[in-house]
Amino acid sequence: MQNLRKPIHSVHQLQVHIVWSTKYRFQVLKGEIQIRCRDLIRQSCDRMDVQLLKGVVSKDHVHLHLSYAPKLSISEIVKPLKGRSARILLEEFGELRKRYWGGHFWGIGYGAWSSGNITDEIIQAYLEHHKEDPNGDESFILE
């Protein structure tokens, strides 16, 4: 298994694909704004110890493929990514302040999908294998 993260007391490979868009899907993520947005996202990921596996800042939305620790929830990851980037972009770019006069740069919400290298079928086969104890003891099955 590649991309395994091994802190002191656990082993994990948690990955997520996150997408969010600018408010009203305005295509404002261009040029310097796009570059600054990318840099802010990288900084926020580093601060949270979230690995940015791949990401794309498009004209009106952001796609990120992240690896994260189990101590974090998806919402705890998205909140600083969206919040900090919005605050700094609105401070640094006057044209954005004019367009987003209410101070809300990103649209409400986000999409998140888990990702990884095992399928539901692999998990089911693994559980079936462990259902039969080699010592003849019965396993406690949750269904």
Detail the DSSP E strand segments found in the chain.
14-21, 51-57, 61-68, 111-115
Task: Say if residues 100 and 89 touch (Cβ distance below 8 Å).
Answer: no
Give the residue among 120, 99, 80 at the shortest CA–CA distance from 26: 99
68 labelled catalytic: no
Task: Say if residues 48 and 34 touch (Cβ distance below 8 Å).
Answer: no
Give the residue among 98, 91, 46 at the shortest CA–CA distance from 67: 46
Q: Which of 24, 68, 100, 126 is catalytic?
A: 126
Give the CA radius of gyration of the chain. 20
Q: CB neighbours of 76 closer than 8 A, spacing ≥ 6?
A: 48
Residues known to be catalytic: 126
